[in-house]
Amino acid sequence: MPADPVPTRLRLRLLFGTDAMLGPGKADLLQQIRETGSISAAGRAMGMSYKRAWSLVEEMNAAFREPLVQSARGGASGGGAQLTAMGEAVLAGYRRIEEIAAEAAGAEIAALAGFLRDMPDGK
Amino acid sequence: MPADPVPTRLRLRLLFGTDAMLGPGKADLLQQIRETGSISAAGRAMGMSYKRAWSLVEEMNAAFREPLVQSARGGASGGGAQLTAMGEAVLAGYRRIEEIAAEAAGAEIAALAGFLRDMPDGK
DNA sequence: TTGCGATATGTTTCGACGAACATATTGCTT
DNA sequence: AAGCAATATGTTCGTCGAAACATATCGCAA
């Protein structure tokens, strides 16, 4: 068989109770913060305003027992941010969940994708 | 241990290529159509305008090789809609994927939920 | 002590998406 | 032939959330 004509991805979102949630956006943000060492740089890398990035960080820090992101302002480089141990754990956990789910449901997902029309768009 | 303080749910969305996607909303809509035999009744049951429900149906019908919903207008009861065999298959497949993913990742999800603050809100 | 770069946070502006509204159409029933 | 109930589809109107804009603050370095 040829490479699958329609690459199918699985995105998942965890709903904690009524308000708190963790999805691909926050996970990617955590990862970018981890890589760039800055909330603003992470936001830029994702085409997201600093304000929005910061808001998401604030939500996450409030939702868990301990903050996921530790930030500092001032200093030589103006400040920065990095993941706490809790932040590392949550990010790793989310990635693991993604992987496990995609793996477990892979066959079913492929079956569904097989029902798709070949070219959904006009391309 | 007591019942989990924060009931955690998993919602997943399948992204087919760039445009087509299938998530909880469309799946629930399919199920309601199946149960009510009508697009408008399904929309009402979900607090969704007929127009929106119809649009979603149109998207789904266009995305797959065969329509998922077959509709008829006119007639004794004014018309109606029902799932095609393809529609039944897609709905069942999505539910199965949900179940498999939740089951496979259950332990990891519970672990993450354990990191949550007890009362995210003020309640 | 001035400047820089990033965090922190409030206010205003804007645009997309859905709701609401409005019709047209269809085919049984009576 | 008239009426009904639901599909089908276009148009307008509101609203919520994000973007954009605007400051304030911090701490090191030069």
- Residues of chain B in contact with residue A89, where contact means CB-CB under 8 angstroms, are 115
Q: What is the dihedral of CA B82, A115, B15, A106, to 10 degrees?
A: 120
The identity of residue A74, as a single letter, is G
pLDDT digits (tens, 9 = 90+) for B39-57: 999 999 999 999 999 999 9
Give me the CA B52–C1' C17 separation in Å, rounded: 11
A18 touches strand C (CB under 7 A): no
Radius of gyration of chain B (CA): 18
Per cent of chain A over pLDDT 90 is: 83
Mean pLDDT across the stretch B59-67? 96
Q: Interior CA angle at B16 toward B15 and B22, to 5°?
A: 55
A69-78 long-range Cβ contacts below 8 angstroms, 24+ apart:
A69/A30, A69/A33, A69/A39, A71/A39
Helix (H) or strand (E) holding A26: helix A24-36
Place of tokens 């697009």: B39
Q: What is the pLDDT of residue A4?
A: 67
- Residues of chain B in contact with residue A121, where contact means CB-CB under 8 angstroms, are 17-19
A73 touches strand C (CB under 7 A): yes
Residue A115: pLDDT above 80?
A: yes
Q: Interior CA angle at B52 toward B19 and B40, to 5°?
A: 135
- Residues of chain A in contact with residue B94, where contact means CB-CB under 8 angstroms, are 112
pLDDT digits (tens, 9 = 90+) for B14-30: 999 887 899 999 999 99
Q: Are residues B121 and A19, on separate chains, in Cβ contact within 8 Å?
A: yes
A85 close contact with B: CB closer than 8 A: no
Residue A122: pLDDT above 50?
A: no
| pTM, 2 dp | 0.91
